[in-house]
Amino acid sequence: MKRIFKYILAALLTIAAYYFVSAGIVGYQAIILKGQVKSLVSEIKRGATVNYENRETAKIDKSIVDLNSTLTNPFWRPLTIHFLKDAQSEIVLALQLVKVAPSMMGSQSPKKYLLVFQNSAESRGTGGIIGAYAEIQVYHGAVTVLRQGSNVGLKSLDQIPIAMPTEYNNLWGSDPAIWQNSNLSPHFPYAAQIYTALWQKQFKEKLDGVIATDPEALSSVLKAIGPVTLASGEVIDSTNVVSKTLSTAYQRFASDNLARKQYLVDVMKAVIQKLMNGNYSKLNLARQLQTPLLDNRILLSLSDAGDQAVIAPTLVSGVVSEAPDNEYRVVIVNTSGNKLD
C-alpha cells in the first residue's frame, strides 16, 4: 500500500513540476514580449522614427516566433492551450498585426477608422446590419472619437458608389448601396470598401480602415474592463449586454425605433469611453478577445493595399479566400427586417 501511495505521490509531483516549469517558460517569454510591445507603444506616442519602428517590430516578431515554439510544442500543449485556444491562428494574427501596428496607430500621420457595431438581430454576411457607428482617429497612439451615431444619420445611395466584380453585382445588385445591406457578402473587404465609399460621399473624408464588432464581442470586452453605466443609471455588463441590445431593447422601445437605435449608440459610447480610460488589465482584455476573434466577431479591413495584403491571411480580415477547395462556410442573410435572428 505504501508503495502504491509513493507512486501516486511521485506522479502528482511530476505533473505539478511539469505545469510549474511550463508556466514559467511561457510566463518568461510573455513578459519579454509584453515589455517590447509596451516600449514600442510608448515610443510611438513620443513620435518614433520609421527606422526605430522597423527595428522594434522585428524584435517583437522574433519574440512571437519564440513564444509560438513553446505554445505549439506537443510536449507543452496540454498547458499552453490555456493561454491560446487556437495557437496557429492567433500566432499568425499576432505576427501580421505587428507589421501594420505602427501605421495603424498613426505613428507618422493621423489615421481615421470607422467602427461599425453590427446588430446580429438581423443577419448579414459578415454578422449583422450596421446599428451604430463611431469614427475614431488615432495619432501617435492617442485615440479620439470624432463622430458617433446610429444608421439613421447615414445616407444611402441608389447605386453602389464603387465598381464591384461582375459576380458580386449579379448576386447582390444595387442593394449594398444601402448602408444596412453593404455587408450582404460574407467577404468583409467588400463591405469595408462600400462603407468607405459611402462615407466619403457623405462626409467628404477618406477612411483608413473599417473595424466591425457585435454585442457578443462587447460582452467579452466587458468581462475584461468591467461594467459600464449609462447616463440613465442603467448598468451594462458582460452578462446582460447581448440580451439588452438584441432582445429586450425591441420590447422596451417597441413604439420608438429611433430611441432603440439611440440606445445602441449610448451602449457603444459607454464602452468606448471606458476602453479609452485605460483603467483595466490589457493582458486580461487580450485574453478575453480570443473568443470573438476566433468566432469572426471582430473584423478589420485597411484602406492601404499593402497593409491589407499583410492582414489578409488572418481571421480578423474576414477574407473569404478564392482558392479552390479552400473552405465551406454557411452564410445567413435575413433581409426581411423581422429581427427574428
Q: Are residues 298 and 249 in the same domain?
A: yes
- Asked whether residue 295 is domain-assigned, the answer is yes
Angle at 274 between CA 272 and CA 277, to 5 degrees: 110
Which pLDDT belongs to residue 26?
57
Q: Are residues 117 and 70 in the same domain?
A: no
Which pLDDT belongs to residue 158?
96
The string over 269-306, giving b where at least 16 C-beta atoms fall within 10 Å of a residue's C-beta and e elsewhere, is: bbbbebbeeeeeeeeeeebbbbbbbbebbbbbbbbeee
Q: Are residues 155 and 119 in the same domain?
A: yes
pLDDT at residue 67 greater than cutoff 80: no
What pTM value is reported for the model?
0.83
Query: What is the arithmetic mean of pLDDT over 153-168?
Result: 96
Which pLDDT belongs to residue 88?
60
- Asked whether residue 227 is domain-assigned, the answer is yes
Edge-to-edge strand order for the sheet containing 209-213? 142-150, 127-139, 111-124, 209-213, 299-302
Domain limits at 216? 111-317
Read off the pLDDT band of 16 (50, 70, 90): very low
Which pLDDT belongs to residue 136?
94
Which pLDDT belongs to residue 89?
65
Per-residue pLDDT of 301-336, as tens digits, reads: 999 999 999 999 888 999 988 777 766 778 888 877
SS3 159: coil
Answer with the residue of higher pLDDT: 336 or 253.
Answer: 253
Question: Would you give the DSSP letter of residue 215?
Answer: H
Which pLDDT belongs to residue 19?
43
Per-residue pLDDT of 109-121, as tens digits, reads: 999 999 999 998 8
Write out the three cell numbers for 38: 509596451
Domain count of the chain? 2
For the chain, the average pLDDT equals 84
Report d(CA 59, CA 27) in Å as an integer: 18
Write down how long the chain is.
341
- Asked whether residue 332 is domain-assigned, the answer is no
- Asked whether residue 335 is domain-assigned, the answer is no
Angle at 49 between CA 45 and CA 50, to 5 degrees: 115
Which pLDDT belongs to residue 18?
42
Query: What is the arithmetic mean of pLDDT over 127-156?
Result: 93
- Asked whether residue 243 is domain-assigned, the answer is yes
Q: Are residues 230 and 311 in the same domain?
A: yes
Which pLDDT belongs to residue 277?
85
Which pLDDT belongs to residue 268?
93
Q: Report the C-alpha dihedral over residues 280, 282, 286, 289, rounded to 10 degrees.
A: 30
pLDDT at residue 264 greater than cutoff 70: yes
CATH code of residue 142: 3.40.630
Report d(CA 300, CA 311) in Å as an integer: 8
Which pLDDT belongs to residue 21?
44
Q: Are residues 184 and 142 in the same domain?
A: yes
Report d(CA 8, CA 100) in Å as an integer: 51
